[in-house]
Amino acid sequence: MEALTALIIGLLVAGAVYLMLARNFMRFLFGLILLSNAANLTIFASGRMTLGAPALVPYGAEAPLGEVGNALPQALVLTAIVIGFGLLAFTLALAFEAYRRLRTMDSDKMRYAEPKEERE
Amino acid sequence: MNSIIFTAGARILVALLFVFSLFMLLRGHHLPGGGFIGGLLGAISFIVYALACGSGEARAALRVSPEGLAIVGLGVALAAGMVSVFFGDPLFTGQWYWVGGDSYETALFSINSVLVFDIGVYLVVLGGILSLAFAFDEET
Amino acid sequence: MMSWLLVMPIAIPFATAVVVYLLRMSPSGRWVSLFGSVLSLVASVALLVAVLEHGVIAAQMSNWDAPFGITLVADYLGVVMVVITAITGLATAIYALGEIPERVEKLGYHALFQTLIAGVTGAFLTGDVFNLYVWFEVMLISSFGLLVLGGSREQLDAGIKYVALNLVSTLVFLSGIGMLYGVTGTLNMADLREAVANAENQGLITVIAMLFMVGFGVKAAVFPLFFWLPASYHTPSFAVSAVFAGLLTKVGVYALMRMFTLVFVGDVGFTHEILIWVSALTMLTGVLGAAAQTDFRKILSFHIISQIGYMTLGLALYTPLAIMGGVFYLVHHIIVKANLFLVSGVANKLAGHTDLNRIGGLYKSSPFLAALFVIPAFSLAGFPPLSGFWAKYLIVKASIELDNWIIAFVALFVGLLTIFSMTKIWGMAFWKPHPDGYDPTPDRAPDHVRVPMMIPIVGLAAMTIVIGFFPEPFVQFAEVAATQLLDPTQYVETVLGARPEALFEVQPDIQPDAAPGVRP
């Protein structure tokens, strides 16, 4: 299971790098999504892959009974997913607005903030 | 989306989803559920409504601006955390008052700051997601 | 009560953000924002007083003991950063009264600004790596908003680059956190110190350290990772760019300082050696980049990069004197750099542009502004007796003590080139006549705009002079901060306290039949 997860993370990162090297900003954004999923999987895998029940504490007990999954990385991943979702939504809105105003998605042509004499 | 079936079905579905989101909100802390999940479900109900009848009507049904809802939720959550200053505890320490007993098993119900915090989270999630969803819907 | 001292500098900006967002349509919003900034400064100073008394103070949120709960902790370095954040926040809040147009206020400028301050303060006070990530994100998302607020084409273009590179760095940092948790099983910084030292696989720890270095390096804009900074810092409003220039990159430097003195100290010969050469190249590329620019804010942006090099150099040399110099530099730089950006805003208002070729004559028409430019500019270049001189002196002395002559030479050479850039701004913006042939006199900006813009400049310049002429207490403060960084025993003990060992023993001694309805 660990080997498979590691392989998936590797594939995700490879795909992400491939997409992020593109000039088109949308492709870069898709690469970013893959990369963020790879990071989340890394955290999840770092909590060890065990077959256990959800970490719920029953009535009256101080600690979960029996073997339970590690809840902390799940909480971390949930936080990271939510934050990542917010950031990506913002970036998507920004990309849309940029496309509307700059009329291009090609990051080589986005030179409005650069010195004027260098613009082709 | 111009589909009579979907529009008609959406009315029932939206109400059900929204009530279910409140159920999830109130159920939280001791059982799976809580403000975050409730807020997501609530947002989904309004998004379904926006898909069926347009985001303009969904905004009208929400009555307040989603951004305002989110920021008020942030304030509510922060205030719920600050309540513990009156009891001499650190920030975000849950304050519980049990009615008719002294613990979860025996009491009828409780008045606590944790639910207020969850309500704040609910509003933040509902408002945040709806402001994004409405914005994307209206930009096209 | 101690825990509330730590909470207030974060909670006040958040509460202010909520209120000012609801008031964004009314003109009273900006005054509420200003009031909130004053309150944050009061809270930060109260925290400073407490830290001066106790050395290090820590608090556990919700009464969950470290390393399980969320920890807030303030040592000398953390608290001085919080105070300086509050000062910069107040200065730019006053400045914004004159600069920010009503249209931008209605979009929620003040709420975003206060959230940014809350995020920065949170990053300085947290004692937990994952929370550091969360505060980074709070800071980033509000900085994204502030950067593109107003929505000109330059801003959108700059925003794309800024957002893209910062998101990548965040993900690198996040992967580092995941692997660190996998190796050590904890994310509390104080707890990590021991856990990292005892980790079996030290090679993997070094890999993780490099992931953190890259992640923070992008935020701090060090040598090969700085491209987003000069592409974006010259586009937003001047108040925003002053906060960005003063604070955002310094959060990255602070995070580097914290992690590479507290946690990743197992392989100093490798990690800190890399940092030394990264710092040297950062200084050089920054200052050379500045020499090629003719835009007021672009020159200053490149100088941020070169100055970041000095701070990371202080960390990288890793002697008490060097770290002390790094801390001193950090504080001095925030004041000076924010002030220079504020001056550029006034110059833009009076002379009509930020391109140095298209402005001039400011010395003749506004000698007061010229004097206020000279103070931070000379301080940045390191002229005695201003604050920058002492900061550079400490760093150069530390590198000479280590017989690292190349680094000492680079540091001095970069100081020289900084003077060149500053005299270029001086010559082109202040000395030569205005190319359009008019006098950029102060009354080109009406009083209600000019006065709030000048107050923070005067205040920050006064601070630069005070630090320059009376460096003794500040140097002593930095010395204690460096001592605490190099020997974090007190930090670790304060955070972890007398650790209740019983918490580690899971005791499922309750009989299953006492828990009805639960399957074992």
Residue in C3, C21, C62 closest to B71 by CB: C21
The 3-state DSSP class for residue C452 equals helix
**Residue-wise DSSP of C402-439:** TT-HHHHHHHHHHHHHHHHHHHHHIIIIIISPPTTS--
Q: What percent of chain A clears pLDDT 70, i.e. is strictly above it?
A: 95
Most confident of A10-14, C61-65, C269-273, C353-357: A10-14
Q: What is the largest CA-CA distance in chain C?
A: 92
In this predicted structure, what is the pLDDT of residue C508? 41
For A78, the closest chain B residue by CA position comes to: B36
Instruction: Check residues C447 and A11 and name the one with the higher pLDDT.
Output: A11
The phi, psi pair for C355, rounded to 5°, reads -75, 125
Question: How many residue contacts between B and C have a Cβ separation below 8 Å?
Answer: 46
Residues 52-81 of B with CB under 8 A from C: 67-68, 71-72, 74-75, 78
Mean pLDDT over C475-501 rounds to 82
* B28–chain A Cβ distance below 8 A for any pair: no
Task: Report the residue of chain C nearest B85, measured CA to CA.
Answer: C4
Residue C378 lies in a domain: yes
Taking only the tens place, the pLDDT of each residue in C94-139 is 999 888 888 888 888 999 999 999 999 999 999 899 999 999 999 9
**Candidates B32, B36, B105; nearest CB to A59:** B105
Contacts of A13 (CB under 8 A, 6+ apart): A34, A35, A38
Cβ pair B136:A59 closer than 8 A: no
Of residues B71, B78, B90, nearest to C111 (C-beta): B71
Helix (H) or strand (E) holding C72: strand C71-74
Does residue C517 sit at the B interface (CB-CB below 8 Å)?
no
Query: In this predicted structure, what is the pLDDT of residue B140?
Result: 63
Residue A119 has pLDDT above 70, yes or no: no
Q: Does C62 touch chain B (CB under 8 A)?
A: yes
Q: Which of C162, C167, C232 to mutate to test the interface with A (most CBs of A within 10 A)?
A: C167
Query: What does the pLDDT read at residue C507?
Result: 40
pLDDT above 60 (res C358): yes
DSSP state of C141: H
- Which residues on neighbouring strands pair with residue C126, listed in sequence order? C72
pTM of the predicted model as reported, rounded to 2 decimal places: 0.91
Tallying the residues shown for chain B, one arrives at 140
Nearest chain A residue to B132, by CA: A89
DSSP-assigned letters across all residues of A11-39: HHHHHHHHHHTSSBHHHHHHHHHHHHHHH
Domain hosting residue C333, numbered range: 267-488
Sorted by where each starts, the structural domains of chain A and their CATH numbers stand as 2-50+69-112 (1.10.287.3510)
Per the CB < 8 Å rule, is B68 touching C62? no
Which of A24, A57, A90 is the best residue to mutate to test the C interface, defined by the most C CB atoms within 10 Å of its own CB?
A90
* pLDDT at residue B119 greater than cutoff 50: yes
Distance from CA of C14 to the nearest CA of B (A): 8
Residue in C with minimal Cα distance to A102:
C153
Chain B contacts of C61, Cβ < 8 Å?
90-93
Chains touching B (3+ CB pairs < 8 Å): A, C
Lowest mean pLDDT among B82-91, B120-129, C255-264: B82-91
Cβ of A93 within 8 Å of Cβ of B105? The answer is no
Average confidence score pLDDT of chain B: 87
Give the neighbours of chain C: at least 3 Cβ pairs within 8 Å: A, B
Is the pLDDT assigned to residue B101 strictly greater than 60?
Answer: yes
8 Å CB contact between C19 and C37: no
**Chain C residues with beta carbon closer than 8 angstroms to that of B75:** 15, 18-19
Give A40 to chain C, closest Cα distance, Å: 8
* Overall number of domains in chain C: 1
Q: Which uninterrupted H or E stretch holds B110?
A: strand B109-112
Count of pairs with CB atoms under 8 A, one residue in A, one in B: 13
CA pair distance C338, C300, nearest whole angstrom: 10
User: For the segment C193-225, what is each residue's pLDDT rounded down to a tens digit?
Assistant: 888 988 888 889 999 999 999 999 999 999 888
pLDDT tens for residues C26-75?
A: 888 889 999 999 999 999 999 999 999 888 888 888 777 777 888 899 99
The predicted-structure confidence for A17-75, as pLDDT tens digits, reads as follows 999 998 888 899 999 999 999 999 999 888 888 777 777 777 777 777 777 888 888 88
* pLDDT cut 70: percent of chain C above it: 95
In this prediction, residue A116 carries a pLDDT of 65
